Amino acid sequence: MSNIVDPLVERIGARIREERDRRRWTLAELADESGVSRAMIHRIERGESSPSAVILGKLSAAFRLSVATLIDPEPEPAGERVRRAEAAPRWHDPETGYVRRQVSGPDFPAEVAEIRLPAGAEVPYPAAAFAFHRQVIWVIEGHLTFHEGDTVHELDPGDTVELGPPAACVFANTTDTDCRYAVVLVRAEAP
């Protein structure tokens, strides 16, 4: 077993703990709100486990925050407007291989992320993960099958979809090649 600690995993854990403390929630209360077990939340907060995309989606929904807020809570240094590619947080889903790179910083009014969804991967998010946000999905490479509630959108390079009212969503790559897409999110209402 490796003792190497991933700084991003530690930062995500610290951010989740900070949000839980800010709300004065116990582990049990966050578990009830999110549907994630107390044991898993505890391991994530301690930096002992990297959450999957599904778990991040559930936790962000419980907090009424975007996934990006949990991944990239640190503002850029004062006056810094350039974010080098190597400095942008990259988070890997340990279950699906999904890779999320935060393009915009936390102080920018819109959140922009680049996603690489491996062949055959599927990532579901609860409807609550889309409350208080407006989003557009833009496919850059490959093919994305996007389930928005009961509606299925088949998206190819250059295609976009603006999400409607909050619904459970599934991002699926049913092909044998990676899919790369961008997510642009604007907060619609303060939590």
Q: Quick one: pLDDT at residue 125? A: 87
- What values do phi and psi take at 91, rounded to 5? -115, 135
Q: How far is CA 6 from CA 15, 16, 55, 91, 167, in A?
A: 14, 16, 18, 10, 32
3-state secondary structure the chain: CCCCCCHHHHHHHHHHHHHHHHCCCCHHHHHHHHCCCHHHHHHHHCCCCCCCHHHHHHHHHHHCCCHHHHHCCCCCCCCCCCCCHHHCCEEECCCCCCEEEECCCCCCCEEEEEEEECCCCEEEECHHHHCCEEEEEEEEECCEEEEECCEEEEECCCCEEECCCCCCEEEECCCCCCEEEEEEEEECCCC
Q: Quick one: pLDDT at residue 89? A: 81
Buried residues in 142-177 as b, exposed as e (16+ CB within 10 A): bbbbbbbeeeebebeeebebebeebebbebbbeeee
- What confidence tens digit (pLDDT) does each residue in 152-179 have? 999 999 999 999 898 999 999 999 999 9
Q: Delineate the domains of the chain, giving CATH numbers in brackets.
A: 7-71 (1.10.260.40), 88-187 (2.60.120.10)
Q: Quick one: pLDDT at residue 107? A: 75
Q: Quick one: pLDDT at residue 24? A: 95
Residues of the chain with pLDDT under 50: 1-2, 190-191
| Spatial contact of 147 and 172, defined as CB atoms under 8 Å apart | yes
Q: Quick one: pLDDT at residue 77? A: 65
